[in-house]
Chains A and B, each alone.
Chain A
Amino acid sequence: MAAVAVKDLRVVRGGRVVLPGLTCEVEAGAVTGLLGPSGSGKSTLLRSIVGVQRVAGGEIDVLGAPAGSRRLRSRVGYMTQAPSVYGDLTVRENLRFFARVLGLPVTVVDETIEAVALADHADWIVGRLSGGQLTRVSLATALLGSPDLLVLDEPTVGLDPVLRRDLWTVFHRLTGEGKTLLVSSHVMDEADRCDHLLLLREGRLLATGTSAELRARTGAEKLDEAFLRLIDEAGEAA
């Protein structure tokens, strides 16, 4: 079953066609990796799914409702690419604010801080945290209230390998609870941790499947290589 169904999505930003007519699905209860080089339209697709991107055409169904619907606003968690939290507030103050907006009890704040391993820094001013810690505050905000769908734009960028592994453990625990995750990355080595992949290039879907499938199909050992071969194939077909 699809948690998100995108059909003929067309997005034009600043006179440039970013997504010329994209169709794809995100499977429910799994981690779907949205991979592609920067500028391929990953963030635009994610923004469209959470309903903050002006779209020129097409349909997006999210958890049974059109993207951006009022009733999705407490069911979808979104983490923007740049950490979108208040730099002049503490970690706890940030989360308390977003929890209040979401109408959640304050008890979720400490739980969520634990989940991203920031308990030691709960009373730190966010602006004084390291890049990786900042990313985790932003991620924690998206996790508040355990939304059914989590849309995460490059959540592991700039994190050390141990933290990345820990976060992926969190992601898989969430899918174990029936949540759906859509995670973008331009680092191919994260692909093996995803249940499904959407490979995006220049606003078009290049391929879908699991990492193993894509490697087997192209005969490549690494996904980077598989990606290049798929680009060549697409070029020959055109």
Chain B
Amino acid sequence: MSPRVTWAVAVRVLSQLRRDPRTLVLILGVPCLLETLLEQIFKQRGEVFQHIGAPLLGMFPFVTMFLVTSITMLRERRSGTLERLMTMPLGKLDLLAGYGIAFAVLAALQAAVVSALTFGLLGLDVAGPYWLVGVLAVANAVLGTALGLFVSAFAQTEFQAVQFMPAIVLPQIILCGLFVPRDAMAGWLHGLSDALPFTYAYDALARTTTNSLGGSFAIDVAVVAGSVLLALALGAVTLRRRTG
């Protein structure tokens, strides 16, 4: 791995995003719209928004970055630029880490904008520190990016890549404990949710709401970090210098 090459990749991906203002507006604007809608529909039951506001804030980057990354990486594979890069002195981890850094920067921007709206105008309050929600949002973005990089290897077309969102992301959201507390789930569903990385990301976010940042919180963060590393390693395995 070389910091120079990793940085070159990150700068390039960010330049590409800068050239696509409409995508940027969507990435920053859509979560704001959704948080506002949620706050409005739970107007009569403010405690619901207080309960789910922060976890959702952390969920948006996970979903957006998963989508954006899997499509960007698919383009890289299909346009021939990946093949060209594979003939150059570029390590596979340089490419993956470069993507990770670029999308983490974008996620930090997204988290800052959505937090300002949610904690400010919409009046969301958490017992834990606000900055921690932002940090967790960025961590989720990196998790989404790492998973997106990995699954892009299994898509041949953009249509397939987009379908991986409902296939891989939505089950994790359904089972993470947001809709039904995990303790109330049937044994096999509980077991399944134990195996999904977003469960831990959600749990960490939920714990910032109540400021219960003890050992369980540390385990959550460790599992998310481990999942990122595992997904990046799997992603590196799918990047082959030689292809058929």
Contact = CB atoms under 8 A, between A and B. Distances in A.
B20 A102 contact: no
Given A89-B16, A100-B4, A84 B88 contact: no
Contacts of B5: 100-101
B8 A101 contact: yes
Interface string B206-244: 000000000000000000000000000000000001111
B85 interface: yes
A82 B244 CA distance: 17
A88 B80 contact: no
Interface string A19-38: 00000000000000000000
Interface string B1-33: 000110111011001100110000000000000
A3 to B, nearest CB: 16
B8 A97 contact: yes
A68 B84 contact: no
A101 B95 CA distance: 10
Q: Which of A51, A86, A101, A102 has the most CB of B within 10 A?
A: A101
B87 interface: yes
Contacts of B15: 89, 93
Contacts of B9: 101
Categorize the interface residue count of chain B.
20 to 34
A134 to B, nearest CB: 12
Contact of B89 (A50, A52, A74, A141): A74
A51 B155 CA distance: 24
A82 B77 CA distance: 13
B83 A68 contact: no
B224 to A, nearest CB: 30
Contact of A78 (B79, B84, B243): B84
B109 interface: no
A84 B89 contact: no
Interface string B118-138: 000000000000000000000
B88 A80 contact: no
A82 B4 contact: no
Nearest to B84: A84
Nearest to A71: B89
Contacts of B85: 101
B86 interface: yes
Nearest to A72: B87
B108 interface: no
B87 A52 contact: yes
> Which 8 A/B pairs are nearest by Cβ-Cβ distance?
A84-B80, A100-B8, A73-B89, A80-B80, A54-B242, A97-B12, A84-B84, A78-B87
